C-alpha cells in the first residue's frame, strides 16, 4: 500500500531486470574508479562484479568491466550517465546471454588435504582449464577460468574436498570474431 502522506509520487511497477555486462574505457587517472563506482552507488544501480586494469600504457587507458542488473531503462541510464563522465572515452554493453561475446572469470582455489582429495579436485576442475600454480605434500593452488555460475558451483562442490580459500576476479569480456566493441 503506497503511503498517501508522501510528498513524492508512489513508485511505478519496475520492469523486468536483465543482467548486463558494461565495458567502459577510461583515462587511467586518480579517482576515475571512484567516479564510476560513485555513479553506480549514488544513483542506486547495483554492481555484481567489477574488473579494472590499465590496457594501454602509452595512452593511459584503463578498461573497466562491470556486471550489473537492471531494467532496460536503468541500463540505458547507466550507459548515458557513464558517457557524461569526463574521463570516459566509450561505453559498450551487452546482455549476459549474448552469444557473440565471451566473458570469463578467473579463480584461484587452495585445496588442503591428502592426495586423494587433491586428485579429486583436479579432476573436477578439468573442464575449466585448470593450471597448477603451486603444489606441496598437503596442498595445491589451482587456477581456473570459467563463467561465474560455474565457479560458484565448483567452490560449493569442493568445499567438502579440502577447499580452504577462494580468490576470484570479476568478469571480463571480449567479442567473438573480428569485431571489436564500438
Residue linked to cell 558517457 = 83
Q: Does 4 bind another protein (CB under 8 A)?
A: yes
Q: Does 15 bind another protein (CB under 8 A)?
A: no
Q: Which three cell numbers stand for residue 146?
A: 570459467
Decide whether 34 or 133 has the Cβ nearer to another protein: 34
Q: Which three cell numbers stand for residue 150?
A: 560455474
Under DSSP, is residue 175 helix (H, G, I), strand (E, B) or coil? Answer: strand
Under DSSP, is residue 16 helix (H, G, I), strand (E, B) or coil? Answer: coil
Q: Does 1 bind another protein (CB under 8 A)?
A: no
Strand positions, DSSP E, 74-123: 88-95, 101-112
Q: Which of residues 64-93 bind another protein (CB under 8 A)?
A: 73, 76-77, 80-81, 83-86
Tell me the closest approach of the beta carbon of residue 39 to another protein, in angstroms: 8
Return the closest-CA partner of residue 126 out of 98, 161, 154.
154
Decide whether 29 or 134 has the Cβ nearer to another protein: 29
Between CA 63 and CA 53 the distance in angstroms is: 6
Decide whether 5 or 126 has the Cβ nearer to another protein: 5
Q: Does 9 bind another protein (CB under 8 A)?
A: yes
How many residues at the interface with another protein, by CB under 8 A? 24
Q: Which of residues 112-141 bind another protein (CB under 8 A)?
A: none
Q: Which of residues 18-57 bind another protein (CB under 8 A)?
A: 30-31, 34-35, 38, 42
What DSSP state is assigned to residue 6?
A: -
**Contact at 8 Å (CB) between 163 and 154?**
no
Under DSSP, is residue 82 helix (H, G, I), strand (E, B) or coil? Answer: helix
Tell me the closest approach of the beta carbon of residue 95 to another protein, in angstroms: 18
| Interaction site with another protein (CB under 8 A) | 2, 4-10, 12, 30-31, 34-35, 38, 42, 73, 76-77, 80-81, 83-86
Amino acid at each position: 500500500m503506497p503511503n498517501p502522506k508522501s510528498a513524492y509520487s508512489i513508485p511505478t511497477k519496475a520492469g523486468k531486470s536483465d543482467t548486463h555486462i558494461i565495458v567502459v574505457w577510461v583515462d587511467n587517472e586518480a579517482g576515475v574508479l571512484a567516479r564510476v563506482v560513485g555513479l553506480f552507488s549514488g544513483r542506486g544501480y547495483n554492481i555484481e562484479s567489477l574488473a579494472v586494469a590499465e590496457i594501454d600504457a602509452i595512452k593511459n587507458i584503463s578498461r573497466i568491466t562491470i556486471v550489473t542488473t537492471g531494467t532496460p531503462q536503468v541500463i540505458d541510464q547507466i550507459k548515458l550517465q557513464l558517457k557524461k563522465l569526463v574521463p570516459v572515452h566509450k561505453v559498450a554493453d551487452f546482455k549476459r546471454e549474448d552469444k557473440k561475446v565471451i566473458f570469463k572469470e578467473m579463480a584461484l582455489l587452495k585445496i588442503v588435504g591428502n592426495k586423494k582429495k587433491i586428485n579429486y579436485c583436479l579432476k573436477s576442475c578439468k573442464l575449466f582449464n585448470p593450471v597448477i600454480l603451486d603444489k606441496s605434500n598437503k596442498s595445491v593452488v589451482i587456477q581456473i577460468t570459467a563463467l561465474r555460475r560455474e565457479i560458484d558451483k565448483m567452490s560449493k562442490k569442493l568445499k567438502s574436498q579440502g577447499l580452504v580459500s577462494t580468490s576470484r576476479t570479476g568478469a571480463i569480456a571480449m567479442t567473438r570474431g573480428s569485431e571489436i566493441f564500438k
